[in-house]
Amino acid sequence: MEQQDFEYIEKYITGDLSEEEQSAFKNKMKSDTSLQEQVEEQRILIEAIQEQSLRATLDRIHKNTEESMTVKNIPLYKKSFMRYAIAASVVVLFVIGGITLSRKQNTHQKLFASFFTPDPGLPTTMSTTSEYVFYEAMVDYKQGDYEKAILKWNPLLKDKPTNDTLNYFLGVAHLASDNGDEAISFLEKTTGTTESYFLSDAYYYLGLAYLKSGNITSSKEALSQSNLPKSKEVLSKISNE
Amino acid sequence: MRNSNPLQTNHITGDILQAIKANDEDVFAMLYKKNYTKVASHILKNNGTIDQAKDVFQEALIAVWHNVRADKFVSESPSAIHGYLFTIAKNKWTDYLRSQRYKKTIISDDVMTNVKDDDVYETSESNVFEQRLEIAKKAFVHLGKECQSLLERFYYEKKSMQMIAQELALDPASARNKKYRCMQKLRELVNTPKLPK
């Protein structure tokens, strides 16, 4: 096909011919089956280009969506301001929720309450199936449904009893649902591993868990193992009493 | 630039269907973000994998795009598009499960009657058209990157040849000539009996 013919057919398809030209072209097509076929073929090519371009666009969008949800290996305390903003809003919710109001609070529990905010959780990734349950539970966790999250995470321990991330979040979730003793046993599994990037966070929450239970010696010990600024802050508050 | 949060832009009040017809990437991203997780969790709950979820979701979105362009979807409210997308994805997954489960067995009429096919993408054109389109789609993938990019700009992004010439630092005549040659190349690939892979 010559370039001229090609461009004319294209104009016909895109509706860029004048009315007169359009009807003349249609008439010509009626008696010219090879022209009919050329038009049909060109339509198909254009359709294919559009659909494949859309596919490429969707893949790009998918990648971006996934990237924004992928876990990155940055220590938690180095993460952006947003985490703390979210954490702060959780504090507010907690205070409003008056989780500990029904109890007579001693100073340690007050201190605990003023410091405890559950870890904001991990971004939920959609990259692998095997981790799906973990991240599904993470969604519950982030929504504050700690008991549901615990129920979903518990079975995963069977395969990965020493997984630091799993034990860490189970610990924090238990602490958030007022099960101090369970929280301590899970968090100690995480602090028992030396390589975890949750180590400092785990020690921090462990310290808070002990503080809540009134075991100040263990609390101080745990907090001193954590290099989070807020751990030092809690430590100094305990010591100042 | 548009509002950075596409979920809250004027697409809601503005013409979402127009944006789809114009292949507006923002509107696709918005549809993606708003519906992917829901579709994926439906498929994962129903014996699917995350890769299948991605495929089904994208096929459903492409079906929505086809139907919107063919004016087969007329929305009463802009948010209806989300339900429409989810329904198509769900139906596609149901169809897939049925085709697996009932493969090589007798298809029971009872089972098939409650599937609503109307929502699934159908062209008014014949099956032959579909088959030829499939071949052309494969051919496009094997086209050189330069040609792909030029054709995408013109036919998908709907940019003018003048603008494309500028973007590619070509004079308008050679840009037009290049587009013609790229289309010829694509036509040849389509008519090659066996495409690699």
Looking at the fold, whether A137 and A164 belong to one and the same domain comes out as yes
Looking at the fold, whether B101 and B132 belong to one and the same domain comes out as no
- Quickly state the pLDDT bin for B6 (edges 50, 70, 90): very low
* pLDDT > 50? residue A159: yes
Task: Write the burial class of residue B52 (CB in 10 Å: 0-12 exposed, 13-18 middle, 19+ buried).
Answer: middle
Q: What's the pLDDT tens digit per position in A41-95?
A: 999 999 999 999 999 999 999 988 776 544 333 444 444 556 666 667 766 666 6
In a domain, B196, yes or no: no
* pLDDT > 80? residue A39: yes
Looking at the fold, whether B172 and B102 belong to one and the same domain comes out as no
- The predicted model gives A144-151 an average pLDDT of 88
Share of residues in chain B with pLDDT > 70 (%): 77
- The predicted model gives A176-204 an average pLDDT of 88
* B41 interface with A at CB cutoff 8 Å: yes
Residue A62 domain boundaries: 3-67
Looking at the fold, whether A148 and A233 belong to one and the same domain comes out as yes
Looking at the fold, whether B107 and B182 belong to one and the same domain comes out as no
Among A34, A67, A100, the domain-final residue is A67
Quick check: A7 and B49 CB within 8 A?
no
Q: What's the pLDDT tens digit per position in B154-188?
A: 999 999 999 999 999 999 999 999 999 999 999 99
* B158 interface with A at CB cutoff 8 Å: no
- Give chain A positions within 8 Å (CB) of B58: 55, 58-59, 62
Quick check: B186 and A45 CB within 8 A?
yes
- Give chain A positions within 8 Å (CB) of B133: 44, 47-48, 51
Residue of B nearest to A139 (CA): B37
- Quickly state the pLDDT bin for B28 (edges 50, 70, 90): very high
Q: What's the pLDDT tens digit per position in A86-128?
A: 667 766 666 665 554 444 456 787 888 888 888 888 776 555 5
* A46 interface with B at CB cutoff 8 Å: yes
**Residue bearing the bigger pLDDT, A2 or B102:** A2
Quick check: A44 and B49 CB within 8 A?
no
Among B61, B88, B113, the domain-final residue is B113
| Domain total in chain B | 2
Average pLDDT, chain B: 81
In a domain, B120, yes or no: no
Q: What's the pLDDT tens digit per position in B83-96?
A: 999 999 999 999 98
Per-residue confidence (pLDDT) for residue B112, from 0 to 100: 41
Looking at the fold, whether B47 and B85 belong to one and the same domain comes out as yes
Quick check: A46 and B186 CB within 8 A?
no
- Long-range CB pairs of A162-167, under 8 A, 24+ apart, other chains included: A162/A189, A162/A192, A162/A193, A164/A189, A164/A190, A164/A193, A164/A195, A164/A196, A164/A198, A164/A202, A165/A122, A165/A196, A165/A198, A166/A134
